Structure 1
Amino acid sequence: MQTRESEYIITMFGDFSIEHGGSKLEKSSRRTQQVWNLLEFLIANRKGSTSSENLIEFLWPNGSSDNPANALKNLVYRLRTILSDTFRDEERQFIIYRRNSYALNSELVCSVDSELIETYWNSAERETTDREERKRLMLKITELYNGVFLPKSTREEWVTPLRSYYHRIYIQSAIKAAQMLMEDKNYQGSLQVLEKAASIDVYEERIHELLIRALAASGDHTAALEHYYFITRKIYDDLGVKVSAGLTKMYNEIAKSVNHVEADLSVIEEGLRNAAQYNGAFCCDYEVFKNIYCMQSRLIARSGQSIFLVLLTVSDSKGAVPAVAQLSCAMEKLMTAAVETLRKSDVISRFSPTQYILMLSYLNHENCQTVLKRLFERFKKYYKNPSIRVLATHCPVVPVS
């Protein structure tokens, strides 16, 4: 009878490792990538064998080896040595060669997380599977999936379709499991599933919509609204797009549900006062920015004071949009510099993926230039990449009579 101790526990999600008998083999930069490529490929295809020709084509595409047949034999020898040394088993043949094909030894008792996930998913999707069993299986999938499939092998073409396949299974399992838990009014269990899924795939709106619903259903309306603010800004800042109409509609429903009658004005004033406790410029979404603009343009029509609009645009040295990683970092540092440099009466908002719009109160043209000079100096202190430029244009706010 096989025991748990005799199994080889193979992890393919979030990282790659093999555990057996107290020993663990992990992906290491000390060994060449080809060794890991061969091992991962044989495990992923362990239900069958792969011909030498196919392995050569996979490992050395476009004839990148002078003597591929010999190179394959040497690579297999190195891999066998690593496995036998790691698991202290010189007698066992980990990799079998038969009829010009290689395969992982079928006598090895292996528990592979990717195989388990596929088995659980197929069982859960059967029409004969009852609800409780389906929920249990999908929860098992969410437990096993701890990140994308073979994350350190992103350049391998054979990995890409499998990564998409398993990720789709995980997201669907997380959504269905969370929905069933919410139907059972197990909101904490649903939140655990959804929070993990949101950390793995931060841009999957279906996960965030369910997470916000679960927070609201659990009674934590404040956290639900805060998560909506977080994900709308995250998606817009990183991708330059707005969240779906469905997510916005759900937000409006939750926002309405938290309204209540308050008879004590001092309680309302205290809540407003606490919300106003911030340092530096006021940051807000562009819709809020437009409302503030409307109010200020009416105010200065009577006061006669001046307010300036400033548009900050980030570009590379050629005036083009920077690479995603550079742009994200530059925009973050520019926001920090602006908040720290500007006054509490000033307002800043993200206008586009490469632009911020500012509203600077009670300044003239010369003072506006001075403020922008200080802002640029602070930005250069925080972000020292000479290939990134920030262009500023400004104009006065026109009073509305």
Structure 2
Amino acid sequence: MGAEDILTETESKQLKVFTLGHFVVIDGDKFLSETRGRSRKVWDLFKYLLVNQDRVLLPDVIVEQLWPNQPYDNAKSAVRTLIHRLRSLLGEGVDLIRFTQGGYIFNRHQDLWVDVNVFESCCRQARLAAKQGLIQEAMNLYRQGLSLYKGDLLPECPYSDWLIPLRSHYRRLYLQSVVELALLLRESHAYAEIVEEITRALLIDYFEEELHLILLEALLDDGKVAQSKWHYENVTSVFYREMGLKPSPAMKRMLRLIQERDSDSGKVLDFSAFREAMQSRQQTNEAFFCEPEFFNVICNLEIRRAERNGGQGLLALLAATSSELGTETARTWQEDMAALQEVLQDALRKSDVLCRFGQQQFMVLLPNTTLEQGQRILQRLAASLKDRELLLRSRLQPLTPHDKT
């Protein structure tokens, strides 16, 4: 049965039952499920029979599952009364419930259409068609089935334990089918439809990482690098904030792909473009200022180079205080730090690296520098700070243990 056959069959049915995302029972143009109030228990019974449509359900089991906290001394009589009311609501022309072997079973009537049955049938037929190489037919069946999934099975019954296994089953089938459809769409370069289907699926389960990976890849393949970059930053932030999860290896690989194609119209950077990008991000001819984490990385690299080549280097810890004693305030030490940073970046060499070390100190890396050269640098810094009525406090130490002092 193809997608067109399923659509024709759906239109021919008189009684339709929707359970995915919302519960609605329609008989022709009449909404039966809108008869609420005292009918709640009747519709609860209908739902229970519907999701267990292949089983004979004994009255005692029905009462225990649906109303465990209510005393029903005569379960058979209570269920019989509800069955009678249910048949009246559904109409005499449709016999959906049969009594057999001391219990009740849902009758798969020829005039009955149930969304979960069609949804599951479409997804399974689509998978079979894909295996047989009928790609277009498979995609149409997937589209037909996925369009029926509006949300979890019977969401108005969140605390019904008897629904949990089936609810999980249909959710897994939906997410798996979305992924399988996306793989078929990728072969035909239908990136916009992939984005549409995945975006809808993320409303069902935002924390399914595979969906985000497929979405990011589709955006990249469609040349939407900026959009993929924004989505990556957003999803990794949400994963960490809500679940404490850092990017997985798969997400890190995706980030590298995004970075490769960034700022180059979706194409991988060549060496000339890479050099231009690097040059555009370089600072001026002053010392390099960075964050402490990056400073540590640079120091470790410099230590390795010094140990390999036998070079020398120094680390300097610097602070500045006002030459006017007794005038320190919360505001003046911040101003002193700003002045010290300005002097450091102006007076130090282009190859030197500095970072903030605590609130009132700077750490400076002086590569290829002897102790004598380091002391002259400190003297030059002290003179520049003196002009600003600041005193330099400093400590020097070798970058590596074998450096001579």
TM-score, with normalisation over the residues of structure 1? 0.62
Q: Deviations over 1:180-218 (max 9, x none)?
A: 111211111111111101111110010011111111111
Kept in 2, the 8 Å contact 1:96–1:104? The answer is yes
Q: Which residue of 2 aligns with 1:330?
A: none
Kept in 2, the 8 Å contact 1:27–1:36? The answer is no
Secondary structure at the residue paired with 1:227?
helix
- Aligned in 2, Cα 1:209/1:263: closer, same or farther, shift over 3 Å? closer
Q: Which residue of 1 aligns with 2:5?
A: none
The reply to whether residue 397 of structure 1 matches residue 359 of structure 2 is yes
Shift of 1:363: 5.1
Shift of 1:262: 10
Match of 2:154 among 144, 147, 150: 150
Matched letter for residue 117 of structure 1: F
2:205 and 2:175 mapped to 1: Cα distance? 9
Matched letter for residue 76 of structure 1: I
2:188 and 2:57 mapped to 1: Cα distance? 47
Once the two structures are superposed, the pairs formed by residues 155-304 of structure 1 within 5 Å of their partners are 155-260=159-264, 261=273
1:303 and 1:225 mapped to 2: Cα distance? 41
Identity %: 25
- Aligned in 2, Cα 1:245/1:93: closer, same or farther, shift over 3 Å? same
Kept in 2, the 8 Å contact 1:6–1:20? The answer is no
Q: Deviations over 1:151-176 (max 9, x none)?
A: 11121122111111111111111011
User: Which 5+ residue runs of structure 2 have no aligned equivalent?
Assistant: 1-7, 265-272, 282-289, 297-314, 323-328, 335-356, 364-405
Q: Which residue of 1 aligns with 2:89?
A: 82
The reply to whether residue 16 of structure 1 matches residue 18 of structure 2 is no
- Aligned in 2, Cα 1:63/1:289: closer, same or farther, shift over 3 Å? farther
- Aligned in 2, Cα 1:115/1:107: closer, same or farther, shift over 3 Å? closer
CA RMSD in angstroms, aligned pairs only = 3.9
Kept in 2, the 8 Å contact 1:56–1:69? The answer is no
Q: Which residue of 2 aligns with 1:337?
A: none
Secondary structure at the residue paired with 1:9?
strand
Kept in 1, the 8 Å contact 2:319–2:360? The answer is no
Shift of 1:398: 5.5
Matched letter for residue 242 of structure 1: K
Q: Deviations over 1:201-246 (max 9, x none)?
A: 1100100111111111111111111111111111111112223221
Q: Which residue of 2 aligns with 1:125?
A: 127
1:64 and 1:293 mapped to 2: Cα distance? 72
1:304 and 1:166 mapped to 2: Cα distance? 68
Once the two structures are superposed, the pairs formed by residues 354-393 of structure 1 within 5 Å of their partners are none
Q: Which residue of 1 aligns with 2:115?
A: 113
Matched letter for residue 15 of structure 2: Y
- Aligned in 2, Cα 1:109/1:92: closer, same or farther, shift over 3 Å? closer
User: Which 5+ residue runs of structure 1 have no aligned equivalent?
Assistant: 85-89, 270-287, 306-361, 368-394
Matched letter for residue 68 of structure 1: A
- Larger gyration radius, structure 1 or structure 2: 2
Kept in 1, the 8 Å contact 2:123–2:145? The answer is yes
- Aligned in 2, Cα 1:106/1:182: closer, same or farther, shift over 3 Å? closer
2:58 and 2:121 mapped to 1: Cα distance? 26
Q: Deviations over 1:60-103 (max 9, x none)?
A: 3377433323322232233334334xxxxx55545333443223
Shift of 1:12: 1.3
Kept in 1, the 8 Å contact 2:122–2:142? The answer is yes
1:18 and 1:128 mapped to 2: Cα distance? 36
The reply to whether residue 101 of structure 1 matches residue 87 of structure 2 is no
Q: Which residue of 2 aligns with 1:380?
A: none
- Aligned in 2, Cα 1:252/1:293: closer, same or farther, shift over 3 Å? same
Q: Which residue of 2 aligns with 1:71?
A: 78
Matched letter for residue 80 of structure 1: R
2:155 and 2:170 mapped to 1: Cα distance? 12
- Aligned in 2, Cα 1:226/1:102: closer, same or farther, shift over 3 Å? same
- Aligned in 2, Cα 1:54/1:184: closer, same or farther, shift over 3 Å? same
Secondary structure at the residue paired with 2:152?
coil
What is the count of residue pairs matched by the alignment? 291
2:207 and 2:257 mapped to 1: Cα distance? 22
- Aligned in 2, Cα 1:94/1:220: closer, same or farther, shift over 3 Å? same
1:303 and 1:149 mapped to 2: Cα distance? 67
1:113 and 1:291 mapped to 2: Cα distance? 55
2:27 and 2:320 mapped to 1: Cα distance? 77
Q: Which residue of 2 aligns with 1:336?
A: none
Shift of 1:302: 6.2
1:207 and 1:106 mapped to 2: Cα distance? 35
Secondary structure at the residue paired with 2:156?
helix
